[in-house]
Structure 1
């Protein structure tokens, strides 16, 4: 409503912001990034909500065959075989799809016994993963895709890629890396506080999210340059790596230390010093 009313608080750089759906925003951002990598294959890794023609078609139209999609398949998605190219010419246009193979869940049950073990670098270490791969036709994207069924003890997931050159290991590793992005969103929204912004101005909202992303990036750069690996404050079984909150605690502790005060000028003491110290302790 505010955008349609062309309110002053909906202006960015003096221009009124036009309404865009999530898919339209995603397409625009990917195209902006792709302009810096001309002639290079681009793989978009996303969840099943974005893994459809609403994202893929406009990207292919704008960027061509250099862009590929890697996403998760829904269990009820129907898959088809690759159409056979016959030597005999029949009237009408050639078939785009072969025979119906079944739903993703039906094929998972059929392929479970034929799964192979792959050595995949996943979540910080090499793991053995049982998976099965097959190239099929996907009607939602209207193109051939490589589907990888990953089988766990009691569950399974199906991942697909429009880039048929990718190996099974690469498809699993790329999709597994997506969860690092999910944790990054959590850090920016909850730990940094982006979701708690009280701004009502479009430009202020953009500035706030940019500063939040910058703050999270600086914290991780700081953590990568530490000589010793930080100790995890909240122990979790099976996890040895440190968390984002551990880095925040180290930075807050360092900012309140005598060494930090020795570097900073303490001659001009501000009346808000105690308040700033309280904020730093809260951050830690």
Structure 2
């Protein structure tokens, strides 16, 4: 389980990995095998949602008072992630994810002037499933100009604010229509525009690209470590290296050029930043900048890293 910061760097989205946890199955932990031990101790079981909640709370402490939007796939986009985060962080945290086609949506309850016995309604009338509403709204979709996958594209979409029982709160749902398919994206932050919701969810794919960068470009998949602690140390150094490379890219004066041209892709790649760093490290000026005699004060690495990103 990995969390990262989605950030626009030189005109393209990038995922800067911040923290990770290895998911260990309950059955494997109960077996008490050697590879289930960290620092000689058997680890306690945590679900993937619990691991994600723990990491997000740790990172959120460095952004006090700032709205945090959690962009995730439909597996994480539920109350198992949202409720504990809202309990701990309050209304500053929001969820942006994809809805399943069979998810039932409800209208916003009307606040009437007449006082009836009992508690007021939390949900309005049943509107239908995502699939049913997509079929009804397709003819009413509007065209939006959205920055998506490296360039501005025209996207047909329809938006409506509804109640979602799985999260027990109002959400803005955006149906995005393609030629033969559609998807439904939701956000608990009602202030986000249709364009922002589509763009942020499209940027979520950079999380998947981040796995490739860590495994292949950094070389984590070729690690020769044999015990759990060594694997954890190696992956931590790998995600730290990936984040530092992206921070370096954000500080460049000019937009890097793409060395290996790919049809339909004009923005630079992660490997291009690695090439620039390697070239700079071999220059004569490198040791003048990175003086080994200088001693840096001891500070929280994560705090310094997040400050550089901001």
Going from structure 1 to structure 2, the CA distance change for 1:12 and 1:59 (only over 3 Å counts) comes to: same
Q: Answer whether contact 2:69 2:94 (CA < 8 A) is retained.
A: yes
| TM-score, length of structure 1 as denominator length | 0.80
- How is 1:1-284 mapped onto 2 (pairs within 5 angstroms)? 3-4=29-30, 17-223=43-249, 231-248=257-274
Matched residues in 2 for 1:142 and 1:63: separation?
17
4+ long deviations beyond 6 Å: 5-9, 253-284
| TM-score, length of structure 2 as denominator length | 0.74
Q: Report the CA distance between 1:278 and its aligned residue.
A: 35
SS in 1 for 2:127: strand
SS in 2 for 1:182: helix
Larger radius of gyration: 1
Going from structure 1 to structure 2, the CA distance change for 1:78 and 1:228 (only over 3 Å counts) comes to: same
Q: CA RMSD in A?
A: 7.7
Q: Answer whether contact 1:256 1:277 (CA < 8 A) is retained.
A: no
Q: Answer whether contact 1:252 1:283 (CA < 8 A) is retained.
A: no
Which stretch has the larger CA shift, 254-263 or 141-150? 254-263
Q: Answer whether contact 1:249 1:283 (CA < 8 A) is retained.
A: no
Q: Report the CA distance between 1:18 and its aligned residue.
A: 2.0
Greater share of residues in strand = 2
Q: Report the CA distance between 1:176 and its aligned residue.
A: 1.8
SS in 2 for 1:269: coil
Unaligned runs of 5+ in 2: 1-26
User: How many pairs are equivalent?
Assistant: 284
Q: Report the CA distance between 1:228 and its aligned residue.
A: 6.5
Q: Answer whether contact 2:150 2:266 (CA < 8 A) is retained.
A: no
Q: Answer whether contact 2:150 2:265 (CA < 8 A) is retained.
A: no
Which stretch has the larger CA shift, 140-149 or 81-90? 81-90
Going from structure 1 to structure 2, the CA distance change for 1:19 and 1:240 (only over 3 Å counts) comes to: same
Going from structure 1 to structure 2, the CA distance change for 1:272 and 1:20 (only over 3 Å counts) comes to: closer
Cα shift readout 1:56-86 (whole Å, capped 9, x = no counterpart): 1111111122211111111111111111222
Q: Answer whether contact 1:117 1:131 (CA < 8 A) is retained.
A: yes
Which stretch has the larger CA shift, 202-211 or 260-269? 260-269
Going from structure 1 to structure 2, the CA distance change for 1:271 and 1:206 (only over 3 Å counts) comes to: closer
Q: Answer whether contact 2:62 2:303 (CA < 8 A) is retained.
A: no
Matched residues in 1 for 2:309 and 2:247: separation?
18
Q: Answer whether contact 1:147 1:160 (CA < 8 A) is retained.
A: yes
Q: Report the CA distance between 1:133 and its aligned residue.
A: 0.6
